Amino acid sequence: MKELKDKGLFRQQCLIAGAWQDAASGASVDVSDPATQAVIGSVPDVSGAETRSAIKAAQAAFGPWRAKTHAERAALLEAWHGLMIEHVQDLARILTLEQGKPLAEAAGEIRYGASFVKWFAEEARRIGGTTIPSPTPDRRIVVLKEPVGVCAIITPWNFPNAMITRKVAPALAAGCTVVVKPSEFTPFSALALGVLAERAGIPAGVINIVTGMPADIGTELMANETVRKISFTGSTRVGSLLMRGAADSIKRLSLELGGNAPFIVFDDADLDLAIEGAIVSKFRNGGQTCVCSNRILVQAGVYDAFADKLAARVSAMKVGPGTEPGVEIGPMINAAAIDKIDRHVSDALAKGARVLSTSPAMPEGKQYATPMVLGDATPDMLLAGEETFGPVAPLFRFQTEAEAITLANGTPYGLAAYFYTESLKRSWRVAEALEFGMVGLNTGAISTEVAPFGGVKQSGLGREGAQCGIEEYLEMKTFHIGGL
């Protein structure tokens, strides 16, 4: 910690108009290490008034920032990316301290987060427009792309770095300025990004970071007419609240919300590949990802073999503090997360599920969840209806392809889905039948800066990453030129 403080990366103030500040009221929120519950620091608990100042600062910076050439903005993003890569290990350490995930995963998240900065630095140079053939000879029609304006960026605790860069990088590349509100559980990763942005030469006011409890900040971000867009990643409950709050001033919205991903294993699957995919997609970040496999649907012919192999892998997992070498499952984010997992598991056991794995050696501490495989899961169980957000893999048995599709789509969510088969025909049939924004065939890894990321149904609106990610921060202006 001392080293991180000496390097200036562990900041306990928020960033408004280029100034590092405490809350005017002096109020602060403690942040604790999920592995020990020890307080690692505190951040200002800012009010609506300070949020208003941050919005004003973003508005003041907007004119000069949008006036820069695309190449100038790209160069600043490239410099920010360079600093993130230079400080991968420092940023990973901060992330693990406040979020709990294993250090190697945290370093992976920093590289993933940095990849969006690089990608959108490149995309900044390619913001074009279109010309449209005129219906009359004396006119010309051109469509210009312009930045949306001041954007509010609200992010969750499960990817405290990458969920910010996936939004801030395209916003800045497009010429927008931002007010970032990170999760109150993981503000230090956001503040460290602010330090590096400042060092990269990104001008004061372009990135503002407000910290603290969400109610007052959220109310101001929703109501303030200067904020032209809200980009949110988090729960469907809060997403829907923000959508209602943004309605009065008709703000643009991007919503990356919860999921309930099915992971389907057909009889003709490569089972070893499917086990690897299940481990990656279910247990990464201790099962606390929005694209986590939440329901593992296995066809009757391979159910027992798959269950045995998965149970063996899970029983051998190493659970412990994220800072300890070799740990695969770190602590859960907070006590509420542990309660939810316990509730899901007891409900499943009461309704007939069976634990198929044995418990790995568990460390001391209140916030560790035992990784487990549950057999005989059924759709009436709590864990079938909502994200468990923990290292629990429930196995559902199915007989036919049609039954698997009905089960998979039987959720109001539509973020990610995975399936395993060696049949080409089935691959296309199933991919087309799944009502999800992202589908993985024979892979459990679907997150990359080069491909669109986002959901359908109650999993959200809009897409991040890829070429389309920058469009979320651009308006079209149709320019009609007459009298030629």
Binding positions for ligand NAD, rule: CB under 6 A: 154-159, 163, 181-184, 214-215, 218, 233-235, 238, 241, 256-259, 290, 387, 415, 455, 460
Closer CB to ligand NAD, 76 or 217, in the complex: 217
Ordered DSSP codes for 175-207: T-EEEEE--TTSHHHHHHHHHHHHHHTPPTTTE
Closer CB to ligand NAD, 322 or 460, in the complex: 460
CB of 447 to ligand NAD, least distance (A): 9
CB of 46 to ligand NAD, least distance (A): 12
Per 3-state DSSP, the chain is made up of helix, strand and coil in percentages (nearest 5) of 40, 20, 35
Number of neighbouring beta carbons within 10 Å of residue 200: 18
CB of 232 to ligand NAD, least distance (A): 7
Closer CB to ligand NAD, 161 or 357, in the complex: 161
Q: Are the beta carbons of 229 and 251 closer than 8 angstroms?
A: yes
Closer CB to ligand NAD, 163 or 269, in the complex: 163
CB of 243 to ligand NAD, least distance (A): 11
Residue partners of 406: CB distance under 8 A and separation at least 6: none
Cβ burial 420-457 (10 Å sphere, 16+ → b, else e): bbeeeeebeebeebbebbbbbebebebbebeeebbbeb
CB of 312 to ligand NAD, least distance (A): 28
Phi, psi for residue 10 in degrees, rounded to 5: -100, 95
Ordered DSSP codes for 345-391: HHHHHHTT-EE-S-PPP--SSTT----EEEES--TTSHHHHS---SS
Report d(CA 242, CA 258) in Å as an integer: 14
Please identify the residue of the shown chain whose CB is closest to the bound ligand NAD: 218
**Which of 50, 98, 109, 256 is flagged as catalytic?**
256
3-state secondary structure of 235: coil
CB of 377 to ligand NAD, least distance (A): 20
Residue partners of 257: CB distance under 8 A and separation at least 6: 233, 234, 235, 236, 239, 290, 413, 415, 455, 458, 459, 460
Number of neighbouring beta carbons within 10 Å of residue 115: 22
Report d(CA 224, CA 478) in Å as an integer: 27
What are the structure tokens assigned to 389, written together? 């957000």
What are the structure tokens assigned to 32, written together? 């604790």
Closer CB to ligand NAD, 117 or 242, in the complex: 242
Closer CB to ligand NAD, 119 or 306, in the complex: 119
Closer CB to ligand NAD, 87 or 284, in the complex: 284
CB of 82 to ligand NAD, least distance (A): 26
Q: Is-catalytic flag, 256?
A: yes
What DSSP character marks residue 35?
T
What are the residue numbers of the active site? Answer: 256
